[in-house]
Amino acid sequence: MYRSRFEKEMDELRSNLVRLGLLVEESIDRSIAALIKQDRVLAETVIAADREINGLANQIESRALNILLRQQPIATDLRIISTALKMVTDLERIGDQAEDICTIVLHLIDENYVAQGKWIILPKMAQLAKQMVNASIDSFIKQDIDIAKKVIETDDEVDILFAKLRDEMIELLQSKPKYANQAIYLMMVAKYFEKIGDHAENIADWVVFCKTGEKKHRKI
């Protein structure tokens, strides 16, 4: 029973992070679906959900700070709390990016899309980014460094897809200038998914720190 209150607070922190992760994954899913289906209601749902994401993120931050204040964690406990505090910022930003994507969707609602073959890469990026977010949180909960390393590797795949889409969009701009607005908007969406991958990678980097005390081979 030693420090059972502390353990309870840590469990709550973990389950809140999982909840936050599920919310942002849902927003990623919905943002790409809203883009493909040009679904205004779905896009607005994601925009509205960001408020809930921010609220939960704030709650996690204040709980984590409260644990720092009242329980003075050290060693592994200190690394877990620091990691949680860093993770929450990345997750909250992912929520913002899903919201930003949906703001773009609202601009594209009445467009006649250029053939989707041109941007078939986007749903793949969204899928990968979502998997990375899911795996990064999983790696934290399980404290599994192998899952974290896999997330870090996957970011390269997202970057490659981003570069491909960029080339497609350049080609589109050159060949069909009347689709210039779509090319630019889709480029931005791709950048947001690429950033989501970066945030998931950040989380994974912190999980490696959490487990080893090292971040990018540097002692902290």
Partner 1 sequence: MENEICIKAESLDLFYGDFQALKNVNLEVAEREITAFIGPSGCGKSTLLRCFNRMNDLIEGCKIAGKIFVDGRDIHENTDVNLLRKEVGMVFQKPNVFPMSIYDNIAFGPRTHGVKGRKNLDPIVVESLKRANIWDEAKDRLNKSALGLSGGQQQRVCIARALAVQPKILLMDEPTSALDPISTGKIEELCEELKKQYTIVIVTHNMQQAARISDKTGFFLLGEMLEFGDSSQVFSSPKNEKCEKYITGRFG
Q: Which positions touch partner 1 (CB under 8 A)? A: 1-5, 65-66, 69-72
* C-beta closer to partner 1: residue 58 or 116: 58
Compute the least distance from the CB of residue 64 to partner 1, in Å.
13
Compute the least distance from the CB of residue 7 to partner 1, in Å.
11
Our measurement of the distance from residue 197's CA atom to the centroid of its chain's CA atoms, rounded to an integer in Å, reads 6
* C-beta closer to partner 1: residue 2 or 218: 2
End-to-end CA distance of the chain: give it in Å, rounded: 31
Task: Report the SS3 class of residue 214.
Answer: strand
* C-beta closer to partner 1: residue 41 or 69: 69
Compute the least distance from the CB of residue 1 to partner 1, in Å.
6
Compute the least distance from the CB of residue 81 to partner 1, in Å.
14
* C-beta closer to partner 1: residue 3 or 107: 3
C-alpha closest to that of 6 among 82, 69, 99, 61: 69
Separation of alpha carbons 31 and 192, rounded Å: 11
Compute the least distance from the CB of residue 91 to partner 1, in Å.
24
Separation of alpha carbons 209 and 219, rounded Å: 8
Residue type, 199: H
Separation of alpha carbons 197 and 125, rounded Å: 9
C-alpha closest to that of 194 among 147, 115, 129: 129
* C-beta closer to partner 1: residue 3 or 51: 3
